[in-house]
């Protein structure tokens, strides 16, 4: 084989990809075992029939050819109107690029913000694709550590120090947060915005969970003074409308930046299928009611997990304030998140994500996706707590 580029061979950064437990669970399922999967952020419902009908109608009416690369005008208008209504920031179709999912928008944002070799900052724990996405854009990922005792909120001093040391060009934040369930309070968002202004960085705000708020309020940093010209907002219908497989999302930013990203889309994705865009338009037109309906089971289950945790003292958690996950602290067992997750899968056939899959800040934690029926989730979390208790007792007996 001819030699591959260093850009493409270094996307993963080497080492573990963090998906070992997930992959092992899938192998067990393929071998006929029953495993409770609390790993991926995939809803336990399918895309609503009414959205699929809209997709079908659109395809049958002829929207199967090339669609406009920036997105069909009606969808760009609808996304702009949604963003303006929710943030108060004047937003038009010129500020919107429709993308095949939030993931593609994250890549486009880093391509726009960073020249090759520039540093892009992101907050640890992080959504697993972040460092690879930054490397794919030929930039250098630098993580800002956070601490469980600070609810995994970033320290502005740490952001400023990293920005200055590396002359960073961008900072990527995600609230509501995957994997921690943190929702950044206003003060934190204001500090982040100030760091970006003071250090002349782009702020890339991943808001794909903006409809899943259990406590507090979502504040988009683009709405703060001086921020509209230096913020890219990443949005998606994956989580808000249970449309993960449709690959539909967007990026919001200043018009000159969007124009450049349209050039990028022309040379990469060449747009999103017209019938998917029409389905997205239909989904957005259903308004808050459908979004609330999709978020409701996770809101209920997040409370249910807190109730189960309150029955014991071994496993603790920072209450999930948003997004479809809860991060459990299992440090009392003395095990890493990874070893705990592997043992849990072996002993109890429950699959969770080790905290270490999301960086170093969440070591000794496991992420539980709230994506199975309530009773099954409650039973699983109870088993996790009992298992942690046994391990903790075994540990104190041994010492």
Please tell me whether residue 250 binds ligand PMP under the rule CB under 6 A.
no
Give yes or no for residue 236 binding ligand PMP (CB under 6 A).
yes
**Closer CB to ligand PMP, residue 281 or residue 308?**
281
Rounded CA separation 143/125 (Å): 9
Cβ–Cβ under 8 Å, residues 270 and 288 = no
383 binds ligand PMP (CB under 6 A): no
Residue 174 binding ligand PMP, by CB under 6 A? yes
Q: According to the binding rule CB under 6 A, does residue 322 interact with ligand PMP?
A: no
The residue among 70 and 249 lying less far from ligand PMP, judged by its C-beta, is 249
Minimum distance, C-beta of residue 133 to ligand PMP, in the bound complex (Å): 9
Count of Cβ atoms closer than 10 Å to residue 321 Cβ: 22
Distance CA 286, CA 278 (A): 13
Determine which helix (DSSP H) or strand (DSSP E) holds 399, and give its type and residue range.
none
Question: Of 41 and 364, which has the nearer Cβ to ligand PMP?
Answer: 41
The Cα-based distances of 201 to 32, 163, 168 in angstroms read 50, 8, 7
| Binding-site string for ligand PMP from residue 195 to residue 214, where x marks contact by CB under 6 A and - marks none | -----------x-x------
Candidates 30-38, 80-88, 99-107, 388-396: pick the segment binding ligand PMP (CB under 6 A): 99-107
If one asks whether residue 71 binds ligand PMP (CB under 6 A), the answer comes out as no
Task: Assess 125 for contact with ligand PMP (CB under 6 A).
Answer: no
- ∠367-208-164 over CA atoms, to 5°? 85
| 359 near ligand PMP, judged by CB under 6 A | no
Q: Which residue has the tokens 């880093």?
A: 110
- Report d(CA 132, CA 160) in Å as an integer: 23
41 binds ligand PMP (CB under 6 A): yes
Measure the CA–CA gap between 267 and 165, rounded to whole angstroms: 34
Q: How far apart are CA 375 and CA 373, in angstroms?
A: 6
Would you give the distance in Å from CA 362 to the centre of its chain?
15
The count of chain residues that interact with ligand PMP, using the rule CB under 6 A, is 13
Q: How far is the CB of 264 from ligand PMP (least distance, A)?
A: 16
CA atoms within 13 A on the CB side of 275: 14
The residue within the footprint of ligand PMP, chosen from 125, 249, 253, 359 (CB under 6 A), is 249
Q: How far is the CB of 87 from ligand PMP (least distance, A)?
A: 19
Which residues of this chain interact with ligand PMP, rule CB under 6 A?
A: 41, 101-103, 127, 174, 178, 206, 208, 236, 238, 244, 249
């Amino acid at each position: 084989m001819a030699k591959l580029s260093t850009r493409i061979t270094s996307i993963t950064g080497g080492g573990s990809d963090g998906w070992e437990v997930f992959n092992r669970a899938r192998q067990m399922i393929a071998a006929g075992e029953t495993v409770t999967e609390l790993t991926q952020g995939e809803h336990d419902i399918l895309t609503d029939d009414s959205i699929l009908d809209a997709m079908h109608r659109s395809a049958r009416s002829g929207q199967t050819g090339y669609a406009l690369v920036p997105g069909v005008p009606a969808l760009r208008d609808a996304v702009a109107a949604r963003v303006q209504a929710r943030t108060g920031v004047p937003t038009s179709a010129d500020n919107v690029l429709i993308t095949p999912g939030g993931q593609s928008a994250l890549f486009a944002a880093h391509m726009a913000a960073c020249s090759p070799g520039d540093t892009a900052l992101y907050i640890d724990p992080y959504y697993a694709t972040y460092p690879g996405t930054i490397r794919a854009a030929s930039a250098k990922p630098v993580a800002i550590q956070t601490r469980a005792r600070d609810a995994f909120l970033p320290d502005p001093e740490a952001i400023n120090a990293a920005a200055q040391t590396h002359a960073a060009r961008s900072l990527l934040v995600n609230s509501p947060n995957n994997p921690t369930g943190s929702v950044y309070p206003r003060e934190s968002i204001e500090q982040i915005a100030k760091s970006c202004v003071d250090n002349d960085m782009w702020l890339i705000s991943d808001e794909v969970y903006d409809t899943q708020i259990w406590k507090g309020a979502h504040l988009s940093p683009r709405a703060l003074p001086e921020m509209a010209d230096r913020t890219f907002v990443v949005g998606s219908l994956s989580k808000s409308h249970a449309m993960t497989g449709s690959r539909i999302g967007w990026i919001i930013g200043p018009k000159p930046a969007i124009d450049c990203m349209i050039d990028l889309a022309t040379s990469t994705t060449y747009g999103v299928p017209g019938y998917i865009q029409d389905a997205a338009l239909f989904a957005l037109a259903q308004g808050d009611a459908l979004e609330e309906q999709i978020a409701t089971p996770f809101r209920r289950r997040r409370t249910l997990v807190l109730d189960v945790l309150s029955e014991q003292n071994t496993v603790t958690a920072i209450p999930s304030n948003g997004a479809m996950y809860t991060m459990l602290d299992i440090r009392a067992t003395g095990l890493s998140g990874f070893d705990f997750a592997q043992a849990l899968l072996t002993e109890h056939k429950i699959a969770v994500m080790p905290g270490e899959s999301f960086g170093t800040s969440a070591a000794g934690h496991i992420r539980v996706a709230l994506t199975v029926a309530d009773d099954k989730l409650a039973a699983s979390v109870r088993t996790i707590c009992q298992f942690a208790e046994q391990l903790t007792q075994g540990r104190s007996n041994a010492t």
